[in-house]
Structure 1
Amino acid sequence: MMLRPGADGPRIAVYSCYFGAHEPFNPAATGAESATYDRFVFTDHADLPTPARLVQIEDAGEGPAILSRLPKLCPHLFFQGYDWVIYLDNNACFALDPARIIRRVIREHPGTPAGRYLFTHRRRDCAWDEADECLRLGYMTADQHAAVTGHFARSALPRHAGLYVNTCLIQRMGCGQTDALNEAWYDSLTSLTRRDQVMLPWLLVSRGCPHRVLTVKIQSWIDWPIHSPKARAKFRRAQNAP
């Protein structure tokens, strides 16, 4: 399914993903009603309390964690005719109107070439350190950590080569090299680790993919998180209660 703007419609698409029942659904993740952008929620739910357009994707066995990453990481597989797409995590809200975000991106990068526009991580600048943090927090097993860091070592990924926040992803459409990177990024989630933030620096370096790094801190444009880990855990327990 390809999502296209209307003949005179906006050329910006704002979207989020909600698969499974990991946390409460957040309708604000696609922004407020606006004539300047279209809003979409990719989901495996039949209905959600949102005025955004629902785009249902059937789970063929991938599970919600992996399935949600397909539209998140590969917008070119779903959107056609839009100049810009903005992904926002369900656990976040826009602090700045999405159309204003694009205007500010264009102001910082006047040529606005197609490709990714990334926010730097606020504490770390290294995929190696991020893998260590994922191990510490239990987001990776020891075997997964060994596989990821071994892959980095074989690829000679330098330390402190950059780390980016994937809570919000901005892409100007039309770069085939970026589209290929996106698909390799998604594939890495089934071959190495489900932690997409860990894998992006390696992909950017190994593929020499052009991208732009925004100087603004992500918290200037995005409120995140809106649900605490405690609230999310309570929600999951309620979903699983008999």
Structure 2
Amino acid sequence: MSGGAAKPVLQPGADGPRIAVYSCYFGAHEPFNAAATGSDSPAYDRFVFTDHASLPSPARLIRLEDAGEGPAILSRLPKLCPHLFFQGYDWVVYLDNNARFLLDPARIIRRVAKEHPDTPAGRYLFRHRRRDCAWDEADECLRLGYMTPDQHAQVTAHFTAQALPRHAGLYVNTCLVQRMGCARTDALNAAWYDSLTSLTRRDQVMLPWLLASHACPHRVLGAKIRSWVEWPIFSPKARARFRRKQIAA
């Protein structure tokens, strides 16, 4: 997989928490949301991956240099590939900048462990609340202008060639929970990131096929994501207004 320069390696202290909570803020697409990494808690370490020199955040800033990927792709590297950055952590929890936790991240991990007492390494995913099909998600991305007709044709041709069944599941990537330590999940993460440049930038579309093709261990959470996370917190109008101000400045 690609990904630019050497990656910083983040580790907990000797007696520190073994949960990492992180978000990403690249470019100037929307206002920065410091709440995306939770609260000032001793139960977890907080990180923001960014291309900005500074941000008004109590979390530790991890600056990544753009080697030509552009902010949209670069932001997906830590989002999809935490294994490249985090070592020694048992759990990592990602949240989009355009969201905030309704449930403390440490409590989220306790809820996950209660639902899945064996807590195997791998992904723990939220079901999409309206769709259960990567094919339908690709159609929705086309309708909303998130894919061009050519990109949509390429993705659906790939699904056809790989015999991806319809209604095989669809998951929300606003919040991603991973128990670290699974090599197959790390391989899926790398393939997931690579698919952004080979097929589509819409990572939610590709995950069902990647889970199936990599026979990747994962668990689907019983909770609805909206009971744990508020999303979105910035309306499309607020984001557009912010971008106009950035251009004017």
TM-score (norm 2): 0.97
1:151 matched to 2:158: yes
User: Which one of 70, 73, 77 corresponds to residue 70 of structure 1?
Assistant: 77
User: Which one of 107, 126, 142 corresponds to residue 135 of structure 1?
Assistant: 142
**C-alpha distance in 1, partners of 2:171/2:147?**
18
Deviations along 1:11-35, one digit per CA (max 9) or x if unpaired, are 0000000000000000000000000
1:187 matched to 2:194: yes
**C-alpha distance in 1, partners of 2:214/2:18?**
28
1:83 matched to 2:90: yes
Question: 1:113 maps to what in 2?
Answer: 120
Runs of 5+ unmatched residues, structure 2:
1-7
The secondary structure found in structure 1 opposite 2:48 is strand
**C-alpha distance in 1, partners of 2:179/2:79?**
14
Q: Which amino acid aligns with 1:142?
A: P
- Give % identity: 82
- Cα RMSD over matched residues? 0.5
Report the CA distance between 1:241 and its aligned residue.
1.0
The secondary structure found in structure 2 opposite 1:41 is strand
Deviations along 1:206-242, one digit per CA (max 9) or x if unpaired, are 1111100001000000011000001000100110015
1:58 matched to 2:53: no
Report the CA distance between 1:170 and its aligned residue.
0.1
Question: 1:237 maps to what in 2?
Answer: 244
**C-alpha distance in 2, partners of 1:87/1:209?**
19
Deviations along 1:135-161, one digit per CA (max 9) or x if unpaired, are 000000000000000000000000000
**C-alpha distance in 2, partners of 1:85/1:207?**
21
Q: Which amino acid aligns with 1:79?
A: F
1:166 matched to 2:173: yes
Deviations along 1:92-146, one digit per CA (max 9) or x if unpaired, are 0000000000000000000000000000000000000000000000000000000
Question: 1:36 maps to what in 2?
Answer: 43
**C-alpha distance in 2, partners of 1:207/1:7?**
34
Question: 1:15 maps to what in 2?
Answer: 22
Return structure 1 stretches of 4+ with deviation > 4 angstroms. none
Q: Which amino acid aligns with 2:158?
A: H
Question: 1:96 maps to what in 2?
Answer: 103
The secondary structure found in structure 2 opposite 1:212 is strand
The secondary structure found in structure 1 opposite 2:209 is helix
Report the CA distance between 1:172 and its aligned residue.
0.2
Aligned residues: 242
**C-alpha distance in 1, partners of 2:19/2:127?**
23
User: Which one of 204, 226, 234 corresponds to residue 227 of structure 1?
Assistant: 234
Runs of 5+ unmatched residues, structure 1:
none
